[in-house]
């Protein structure tokens, strides 16, 4: 395994969260996100989104509606030359099931590393919650938190380069 990647939480990391989002009009990108992701991608990192989407399990929206929202979101990124290798997500309602794919569990991160031949030591998990960081750490990655009182914390996305090297 030799590949490197950055896994991003979706809500309040890449886009503003308006709670159980699935409608196109709810999409609102975080300031500076395009420049940051483009620099990371241009440095040779694969980009992923890893998101808990319990709205599916709770019946607030369907998986098809979520995929439609993600397609709309990805088009916004593609307009800036940014593409994601994959969007991975947990669809389960945590009040109804004990699944092993919801953050802070690392299962989906580990599976992505195996599938895409990524070295976890060369990967980063970026999110706005401690559970994002815990998932990354449990998968053997470096975790970075955004506006969260936890280690490797940054106050704005542009500060991510304190932790992610753009050159080998």
81 vs 92 pLDDT, higher one: 81
With contact defined as beta carbons under 8 Å apart, do 38 and 153 qualify? no
Structural domains in the chain, CATH included, are 3-162 (3.40.50.1000)
- Spatial distance between the Cα atoms of 98 and 21, rounded to a whole number of angstroms: 23
- Spatial distance between the Cα atoms of 8 and 149, rounded to a whole number of angstroms: 18
Predicted confidence (pLDDT) at residue 98 exceeds the cutoff of 90: no
CB-CB neighbours of 105 under 10 Å:
18
128 a catalytic residue: no
Mean pLDDT of the region 60-70:
90
Rounded to the nearest integer, the mean pLDDT of the chain is: 93
Q: Say if strands 118-127 and 46-52 run parallel, antiparallel, or are unpaired.
A: unpaired
Band the pLDDT of 157: cuts 50, 70, 90: very high
- Spatial distance between the Cα atoms of 29 and 14, rounded to a whole number of angstroms: 6
137 vs 25 pLDDT, higher one: 137
Predicted confidence (pLDDT) at residue 75 exceeds the cutoff of 90: yes
11 a catalytic residue: yes
One of 9, 17, 128, 159 is an active-site residue; which one?
9
- Spatial distance between the Cα atoms of 155 and 50, rounded to a whole number of angstroms: 20
Helix axes 130-138, 107-115, angle to 10 degrees: 50
Size of the chain, expressed as the number of residues it contains: 168
Q: What is the pTM of this model?
A: 0.94
Band the pLDDT of 22: cuts 50, 70, 90: confident
């Amino acid at each position: 395994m030799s590949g490197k990647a950055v896994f991003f939480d979706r809500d309040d990391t890449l886009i503003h969260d308006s709670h159980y989002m699935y409608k196109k009009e709810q999409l609102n990108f975080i300031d500076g996100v395009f420049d940051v992701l483009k620099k990371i991608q241009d440095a040779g990192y694969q980009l992923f989104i890893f998101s808990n989407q319990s709205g599916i399990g709770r019946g607030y929206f369907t998986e098809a509606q979520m995929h439609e929202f993600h397609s709309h979101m990805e088009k916004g990124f593609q307009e800036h030359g940014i593409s994601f290798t994959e969007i991975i997500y947990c669809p389960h309602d945590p009040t109804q099931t004990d699944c092993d794919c919801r953050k802070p569990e690392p299962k989906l991160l580990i599976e992505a590393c195996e599938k895409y031949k990524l070295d976890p030591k060369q990967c980063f998990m970026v999110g706005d919650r401690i559970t994002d960081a815990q998932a990354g750490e449990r998968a053997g990655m470096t975790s970075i938190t955004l506006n969260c009182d936890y280690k490797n914390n940054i106050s704005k996305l542009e500060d991510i380069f304190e932790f992610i090297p753009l050159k080998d």
